[in-house]
Amino acid sequence: MTQLEEAKRGVITEEMKFIAEREGISPEKLRRSVAKGHTVIFRNVRHDWVRPVAVGNVVRVKVNANIGTSRDIVDVRAEIEKAKVAVKYGADTIMDLSTGGDLDSIRKAIMHAVDVPIGTVPIYQAAEEMLAKGKAIIEMSEDDMWRAVERHFRDGVDYTTIHVGVTKEVVEKMKRTKRIVGMVSRGGTFLAAWILHWGEENPFYRDYNYLLELAREYDVVLSLGDGLRPGGLPDAGDELQMAELYTLGRLVKKAREAGVQTMVEGPGHVPIDQIPAQVKLAKVATDNAPFYVLGPIVTDIFPGYDHITAAIGGAIAALNGADFLCYVTPAEHLGLPTVEHVREGVIAARIAAHAVNLTRFEADFRKDYLMSVARGRLDWAKQFELSGDREMFVEIRKERPTKTEACSMCGDLCAIKLIQEMLRKG
């Protein structure tokens, strides 16, 4: 039985106990949220070495890191290193988005290199296998798509992005809708092109019941993909995005009835003032399904700094109900990320998540409280201990400052403390 089915029966699973202890909440509170579909647990029944992770409204905001090969650069060791670095710096999950090389071997290697849940996008593999045969992506058969999904589930992947909401109806709307950027979702684009070429309905939408059967067998969390997310600020909240969202809301309900865990993916590029409304609308449309957002990126004119633009949007999204932040690296829109880009992306997303988590969990706020105390006491050892990135702490502070050395963040702390002591003595 799936975690959702067990929760509905009133059963607290071992995974729920493990997660509840890590989150500092009662197992019963977690069970109730899972039973409603408001929280999901990543743990494929075949992924027996994974450390289960929960995403939803009663647990901490989580962070995902994307890695993966491309057709031009197939360096499995580099991607494994990125996965390890992402986990080291706090990523809760990894998504393998590889599109080049032996995808089955790459996926398995990444899964065995880390102990966090793994997500994938199976349609990428179906498309790549067409290209490897010298064929066009739109020549994929429905069997090709389903085989890719089954293979990923069977290999132990914990959650998969399936662009179920890219329907024939929505693709027809695209012909009448003027978007500035168009479709930026790779998987969504593959399916839209396939629909246009064959004139057939999206197989994942038409045969959604079969998808649910497969997901239930392995207890894979279906991440209902936002194939029509805005790829630029002018497209945020348009007809296409909203049409897909309402479709996903109906599919969430159907999945819950079948005992399958689901979450919903969100935008994209969104002006900062629209983020609260978009998140709340998504929560209403999907009956509080866990919401997984890419960013949102709040400005389009700072390529090379999108880890920052995404962290700003991610913090606002999480504050308004988003549950899961997909990191964005400085290489977004420019190229494949390096290991250092991965580190920067994870840290930026973690800052966004923690900024919200400390408002919800006393233990998280306690860390910031203790850091304030340590700064007030000039206790550098304690500041190092509490630092979210100790390597950066050491890199910047290579030598203990003198009493007159200024701190760029807080001013001349040592001088301030001296003045405070003078004031206390009168």
Q: Is 210 annotated as a binding residue?
A: no
**Residues in contact with 68: Cβ distance below 8 Å, sequence separation at least 6, in sequence order:** 79, 95, 96, 97, 98, 99, 106
Q: Is 407 annotated as a binding residue?
A: yes
Q: Is 227 annotated as a binding residue?
A: yes
Residue 265 has phi, psi (to 5 degrees) of: -90, 150
Q: Is 414 annotated as a binding residue?
A: yes
Q: Is 185 annotated as a binding residue?
A: yes
Give yes or no for a contact between 221 and 265, defined as CB atoms under 8 angstroms apart.
no
Q: Is 205 annotated as a binding residue?
A: no
Q: Is 206 annotated as a binding residue?
A: no
- Distance CA(325)–CA(95), nearest Å, equals 12
Helix (H, G, I), strand (E, B) or coil at 105: helix
- DSSP states of 295-340 as a string? TTB--SS-TT-HHHHHHHHHHHHHHTT--EEE---TTTTTS---HH
Q: Is 226 annotated as a binding residue?
A: yes
Q: Is 269 annotated as a binding residue?
A: yes
**Residues in contact with 364: Cβ distance below 8 Å, sequence separation at least 6, in sequence order:** 60, 354, 357, 358
Helix (H, G, I), strand (E, B) or coil at 169: helix
Q: Is 38 annotated as a binding residue?
A: no
Q: Is 163 annotated as a binding residue?
A: yes
Q: Is 229 annotated as a binding residue?
A: yes
Q: Is 326 annotated as a binding residue?
A: no
Q: Is 305 annotated as a binding residue?
A: no
Q: Is 424 annotated as a binding residue?
A: no
Q: Is 392 annotated as a binding residue?
A: no
- Distance CA(30)–CA(20), nearest Å, equals 7
Bridge partners, residue 119, by sequence:
95, 159
Binding residues for substrate: 66, 95, 124, 163, 185-187, 226-229, 265, 292
Annotated binding site for Zn(2+): 269, 333
Please enumerate, by residue number, every residue annotated as part of a binding site. Answer: 66, 95, 124, 163, 185-187, 226-229, 265, 269, 292, 333, 407, 410, 414
Which residues are annotated as part of the binding site for [4Fe-4S] cluster? 407, 410, 414
